Amino acid sequence: MFKFNFLAENREETDLSMTVNTIKKSETSIPEADGQEVEMSDDHFENAKQYRENRSPTSIIRGFELVDLKHVEQLITSGKAGEFESINTAIQMNSDVVKGVYEGGLKVWECTLDLLDYLDKEHVQFDTLTVLDLGCGAGLLGIHALRKGALAVDFQDYNDEVLSLCTIPNVILNNEDVKDKVKFFAGDWGSLNCKLQSYDIILTAETIYNPENYRKLIGIFEGTIKKNGVIYVATKHVYFGVGGNLYEFEKLLQQSGRWNTSICFCSNEGVKREILKITRSADHTN
Ligand SMILES: C[S@@+](CC[C@H](N)C(=O)[O-])C[C@H]1O[C@@H](n2cnc3c(N)ncnc32)[C@H](O)[C@@H]1O
């Protein structure tokens, strides 16, 4: 049931569940995903040029031109994109997520579209602000922030191959001359805090499906959001069969007494989806 296509605009075609596989690290030669910056290279610009000149296929989602993931899949399986063991493992396991190996970045998940709609509808301002697209996948949220005048946007994904093959080409395709404004970070949330900067806004979608990661995610919020910063978490209310749910995540935030939380969007169409808005509580703004 692994679906490598970008999400269709039509909600009826969207999947409502997540297929997740777990494999033991010892069964693979894949190293731990330590935090690292992935530099934009001439190759990325050359690839984006190929896409722009229609020599490689693209898709349009919400007005963004994005690399076509069927094409990316072919590049990976044919070995033409280089050695991409994690993603190949996921393809072979027929799964949306392979825990600790591939975390679902090569797909546009539906809550990203909810958050894009919300940011537009509420005219959320990005002008001169610093932004983190946390668990970016294709990078639509960060690309939106760049288009709306963000000063700097950092993109983070578990897999460096997602950043190289998908996020970076997408950023280049949709924004001219952004090289000085963007950075890309790969690796596990637990190893990234010291690499990231501080942000006015953190945007994150479909990232709370695994309760094992809640403390790491909150650690990133704690370490990187500015005093008056705002965090938006777009999520399904419950990730069936995986264990993640918004109730537990929000409870953990509230128990610490360090955060104010409110639900700013809710849809009961299909699986319930929500957007959680988080700010530092008044006593914890230092
Ligand atoms: C389901 S995908 C969602 C992608 C994108 N936000 C979207 O909505 O289309 C989950 C994202 O969280 C990231 N992620 C999941 N677990 C992670 C972890 N433990 N450390 C770092 N990133 C992780 C994945 O790399 C991926 O970008």
Segments making up each domain of the chain, as ranges: 110-284
From 19, 21, 103, 195, give the residue whose CB has the most ligand 1 atoms within 8 Å, as the site to mutate. Answer: 103
- Which parts of the chain sit beneath pLDDT 50? 1-16, 24-30
Query: What stretches of the chain show up as alpha helix (H) in DSSP?
Result: 42-52, 69-77, 85-93, 110-121, 140-147, 160-162, 168-174, 214-224, 246-255
Determine the pLDDT at residue 16: 44
Contact criterion met (CB below 8 Å) for 265 and 235: no
Query: In whole angstroms, what is the distance from residue 2 CA to residue 5 CA?
Result: 9
Atom 19, ligand 1: residue with shortest CA distance:
188
What is the model's pLDDT at position 242? 87
User: Can you say whether residue 270 is alpha, beta or left, with left for phi > 0 and alpha for psi between -120 and 50 degrees?
Assistant: left
pLDDT at 20: 75
- For position 124, what pLDDT does the model report? 98
Calpha distance 275→232 (Å, rounded): 7
Instruction: Name the residue at shortest CA distance from atom 1 of ligand 1.
Output: 104
Nearest CA to ligand 1 atom 11: 135
Q: If you measure from the C-alpha of residue 283 to the centroid of ligand 1, how many angstroms do you get, rounded to a whole number?
A: 30
Binding pocket residue ranges, ligand 1, CB within 6 Å: 103-105, 108-109, 111-112, 135-138, 157-159, 188-189, 205-207, 213
Q: Read off φ and ψ for residue 170, nearest 5 degrees.
A: -65, -40
Which residue's CA is the nearest one to ligand 1's atom 23? 158
Q: Which atom of ligand 1 is nearest to the CA of 190?
A: 20
- Expressed in angstroms and rounded, the spacing between residue 108 Cα and the centre of ligand 1 is 11
- Domain 110-284 adopts which CATH fold? Rossmann fold (3.40.50)
For every residue of 153-212, DSSP letters joined together read EEEEES-HHHIIIIIHHHHHHH-SS-TTTEEEEES-GGGTTTT---EEEEEEES--S-GG
Q: Count CB-CB contacts under 10 A for residue 89.
A: 18
Shortest-distance atom of ligand 1 to CA 234: 8
Name the residue among 104, 119, 118 with its Cα closest to residue 213: 104
Say how many Å lie between the CA of residue 105 and the centre of ligand 1.
6
Minimum-distance ligand 1 atom for the alpha carbon of 97: 1
Distance CA 155, CA 178 (A): 13
Nearest to 1 by CA among 85, 122, 93, 94: 94
